[in-house]
Amino acid sequence: MHSLRKLATAVAAALALAPVSVLAQDAAPVKIGVVAFLSGAAASPFGVPARNAAELVIELMNAGKAPAPYDTKGFGGSKIETVIIDESGGTTTQVTEFRNLVQRHNVDLVIGYISSSSCVGIAPVAEELKMLTNFFDCGTPRIFEDASYKYVFRTSPTSTMDSVGAALYLKDAKPKMKSIAGINQNYAWGQDSWVDFEASMKQLMPKIEVKMSQMPKLFAGQYNAEISTLLGSKADAIHSSFWDGDLEALILQAAPRGLFKKSTGVLTTGETAMYKLAKQIPDGTILGARGPFGPYAPDNAYNRWLVKEFQERYLVPPTYPSYQMAQAIMGVKLAWEKAQAANGGKRPSKEQVAAALENSTFEGPGGTVKMAIGKGHQAIMETAYGMSKVVGGKMTVTKVKRYPAEMVNPPEGVKSADWIKGGFKK
């Protein structure tokens, strides 16, 4: 009796498992390496929201629960598996771990990298190893301006767009303004952001007076001396690309001294702090979200889907790194499936997926993403800026203005810096 039941169970199990294993053979999983900061200062504002978005979106895609045309299971029917890696430890460590992802874990593609130095370091290695790699967040325009790649993509816009968009909005919002000043962190991101913003302002308002540029060191934490000098400069607007801890410290220390009441604050990554510091950000502060993300995201099916699912699982709304990660996965999924269809339904090669992603256009939670520059490897998107306004104790944005992608991004083959200096020629 006992052995009979055992036999029956075994047979049943074998029958149940058989179709699964046949299916599994048909569609070997697609292995994605996901790299984002999981430790250090950039983890909580960027890395963790991005990783959360990756886990959420991939899980929903595996279940076939994403809105069309992303509703096929996994990537073209193949289940998605992930290998998640921390981005900390410096470029040498990152290059080592990238090689490990490719040659030890045999991933099919890599989506990741928040720090621009990681991206600059990884790009040639990805090319050497012929590994399809999509940068989802890093900002420097140098990557596709200084070199061209076959296997490397970036489905998020560059930091140039943030600075140009901020300058356009400031001009529209305060046409009578006479002077600007800046406070930015003294490292590549802060330097580039200020250089682009200053050059754009000089193009848009040739008579503008640049009072000063403060460059405190990264993670300084204390800005009282800088706030004093900025107050003394009496500039009409103050630009800052500070993020996370530094941004919060600046807002908190500026609030009692009324810096952003006396001068209009232009906070290009202000979105990441707006809900937390609703009381300290004066109404009328210009807030950016590095593109049409978060409060500036269009009301489309993908955005509603991402916000609902993200809020449900993590109890907070998605911020721009989550949007960027989601659209990075969506863009690659679409290219993968296009390549698979062109390949007669068989699993596409990396070269075929790369060819499909090149110059492609797709819709995501932030609206239309066009892989239009960098020989079809660099995305452009529209951008939006608005002003803070507390309504009933809740932070919102008002006077939102949108700028089309071609207006805030250089055309193909033109370097960002030259494009700004040349007067934004299309």
Partner 1 sequence: MRLDTNRDRTLPILGAVLLAVIVFGPLLPKWALFLLTIAIAKGLVSLGLMLQLRAGLVSFGQALYYCIGGYTAGSLGRYFNISDMLLQMICGAFAAVFVALILGLLLARYRGIFYGLLSMALSMILYGLLAKSESLGSTDGINILPSTVFGIRPSQEWLRYVVIVTGCSVAVFATALVHRYLKTPLGRLAPAIKDNEIRVEYMGASVRQAIYVKYVIAAALSGIGGALAATAVGHIDPDMAYWTTSGEFIFITILAGTRSVAAPFLGAMIFEIIRTVAFDISPNTWQMTLGISLLLVIVFLPEGLWSLFGRRKAG
Q: What are phi and psi of 125, to 5 degrees?
A: -70, -40
Q: Which residues of 132-164 are buried (b: 16+ CB within 10 A; e: fewer)?
A: bbbbbbbbbbbbbbeeebbbbbbbbbbbbbbbb
Rounded to a whole number of angstroms, the minimum distance from the CB of residue 147 to partner 1 is 8
Residues 310 and 318: their CA atoms lie apart, in Å, by 6
Q: Encoding tokens for residue 72?
A: 């096929």
For the bound state, the minimum distance from the C-beta of residue 101 to partner 1, rounded and expressed in Å, comes to: 9
CA 343, 349, 351, 353: dihedral to nearest 10 degrees?
70
The 10 Å Cβ neighbour count of residue 56 is 20
Mention every residue, 6+ apart, whose C-beta is less than 8 A from residue 295: 271, 274, 289, 386, 396, 397
User: Residue 184 CB, nearest distance to partner 1 (Å)?
Assistant: 12
Which tokens in the block code for residue 245?
């801890």
- Give one DSSP letter per residue of 319-342, joined into a string: -HHHHHHHHHHHHHHHHHHHHHHH
Residue with Cβ nearer partner 1 (140 or 155): 140
Q: Residue 221 CB, nearest distance to partner 1 (Å)?
A: 17
CB 293 within 8 A of CB 341: no
Whether 151 and 176 have beta carbons less than 8 Å apart is answered as: no
In the bound state with partner 1, the residue whose beta carbon lies nearer, of 102 and 274, is 102
Please list the helix, strand and coil fractions of the chain in percent, rounded to the nearest 5, in that order: 45, 20, 35
Please report how close the Cβ of residue 283 comes to partner 1 at its closest, in angstroms.
Answer: 34
As measured in angstroms, the least distance from the Cβ of 189 to partner 1 is 8
Distance of CA 305 to the CA centre of its chain: 18
**Residues 6 or more apart whose Cβ sits within 8 Å of residue 63:** 73
Nearer Cβ to partner 1, position 113 or 385? 113
Who contacts 256 (Cβ-Cβ below 8 Å, separation ≥6)? none
Pick 217 or 399: Cβ nearer partner 1: 217
Q: How far is the CB of 309 from partner 1 (least distance, A)?
A: 23
Residue whose CB is less far from partner 1, 142 or 290 = 142
Q: Minimum distance from CB of 70 to partner 1 (Å)?
A: 26
Spatial separation of the C-alpha atoms in residues 285 and 418, rounded to whole Å = 29
Using the minimum distance from each CB to partner 1, give the nearer residue, 190 or 294.
Answer: 190
Q: Measured from the CB of residue 376, what is the shortest distance to partner 1 in angstroms?
A: 21
Closest CB to partner 1 among residues 97, 226 = 97
> Smallest Cα–Cα separation from 335: which of 306, 371, 301, 291?
371
**239 vs 370, which CB is nearer to partner 1?**
239
Binding residues for partner 1, per CB under 8 A?
Answer: 38-39, 84-86, 88-93, 95-97, 99-100, 102-104, 116-117, 120-121, 123-125, 128, 140, 142, 147, 186-189, 191-192, 217-218
264 pairs with which residues across the strands? Answer: 237
CB nearer to partner 1: give 117 or 253. Answer: 117
Token pair 């279940």 in the structure block, residue: 63
